[in-house]
């Protein structure tokens, strides 16, 4: 489900570019999953033209963390 709709209108482009399922939130949070390996979480409050969080637009600040089993 995250692969197909986790980034709303940007889901297809994200899936094609990264191959990772991900989910964004209205507050600027994002989590991407490498199945069976790790999860990557970040906070990036800027919005793209569609009004959705876009982590690759080059502006603002980003804070994140990664964890692995």
pLDDT digits (tens, 9 = 90+) for 38-67: 999 988 766 667 766 555 554 444 444 445
Residue pair 22/2 in contact (Cβ under 8 Å)? The answer is: yes
For residue 50, the model assigns a pLDDT of 72
Residue 22 CA to residue 50 CA, distance in Å, equals 17
- E-strand ranges in 1-69 read 22-24, 29-34, 38-43, 63-68
User: Is this model's pTM higher than 0.75 or not?
Assistant: no
Q: Give pLDDT tens digits for 3-36.
A: 778 788 888 888 889 888 989 887 778 899 998 9
Residue 47 CA to residue 7 CA, distance in Å, equals 12
Token pair of 53 as six digits: 């969080």
For residue 46, the model assigns a pLDDT of 65
For residue 60, the model assigns a pLDDT of 46
């Amino acid at each position: 489900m995250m692969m197909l709709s986790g980034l709303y209108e940007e889901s297809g482009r994200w899936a094609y570019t990264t191959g990772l399922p991900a989910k964004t939130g209205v507050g600027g949070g994002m989590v991407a999953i490498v199945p069976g390996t790790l999860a990557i979480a970040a906070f990036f409050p800027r919005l793209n033209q569609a009004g959705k969080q876009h982590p690759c637009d080059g502006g603002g600040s980003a804070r994140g963390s990664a964890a692995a089993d």
